[in-house]
Amino acid sequence: MVQAQIQGLKKQFGKNEILKGVDMTVHHGEVICIIGPSGSGKTTFLRCLNLLERPDAGRYVLGSESYLLHRIGSKQRREIALKTAMVFQSYELFQHMTVLQNVMEGLVTPRQFSKKDAKQIALTMLEKVGLSDKASMYPVQLSGGQQQRVGIARAMALSPELLLFDEPTSALDPELVGDVLKVMRQLADTGQTMIIVTHEMQFAYEVADKVIFMADGVVVEAGTPEEVFRQSKEDRTKKFLSQINFKTA
């Protein structure tokens, strides 16, 4: 079953064309990893999917609804916001709120859950990411890896149809990366539909159902991890993988 479909997504800042017509189909329960060089438009693409950036053109089918992205109004923005959630590279936690309050916030304010129900959901999600004992702490008291797991718990609490990750381990010290990737692997095992922008090639190879290589604002190549990493057809993909010295077993 198709969960989301993106057709002809374009975005530019001034005269700089970042996305030049991106197409993508995401099936229910699918894990898609997007790889590619810096400046290829990967983060902008994710931000367009939950309207943190407003696309200039494109059609977006999410669940049973279809949207023309250059005609998005406030009602459509809210619908998309309620169906998606994002985990950011730099955590984006509220520093004046406790861990528990950070996870509850998206339920209480935009979704109008009661504080009692929101607290129960938040505690359940913190337990899933191994941080139930940190609920009363503030972000500044946590390691980067723990803060990112709070970010994942916050996104999970919203029960999104589409969960977006923007390079979730890139700001972490190497020894903290494993705990975050472990949580993401567990999420993949539950059947959560996810699009993950990542530079963790081994993770992408092992966990993704589909790998997409982006460069210069377009999808250059897409396929299974085996097809993209070991049987690349495009020279641009081969060059990128040779530069990062990725080797599969």
Query: Average pLDDT in the 164-174 region?
Result: 92
Q: Is residue 101 a contact partner of residue 114, using CB atoms and an 8 Å limit?
A: no
Cβ atoms of residues 93 and 102 within 8 Å: yes
State the pLDDT at residue 245: 67
Domains of the chain: which residue ranges? 2-94+162-244
Domain 2-94+162-244 has CATH 3.40.50.300: yes
Residue position matching structure tokens 């990062």: 244
pTM: 0.94
Q: Is the Cβ–Cβ distance between 82 and 110 less than 8 Å?
A: yes
Cβ atoms of residues 194 and 48 within 8 Å: no
* Residue pLDDT, tens place only, 80-95: 999 999 999 999 999 9
Give whole-number Cα distances, 135 to 24, 59, 151, in Å. Answer: 37, 40, 13
Predicted confidence (pLDDT) per residue in 42-60, tens digit: 999 999 999 999 999 999 9
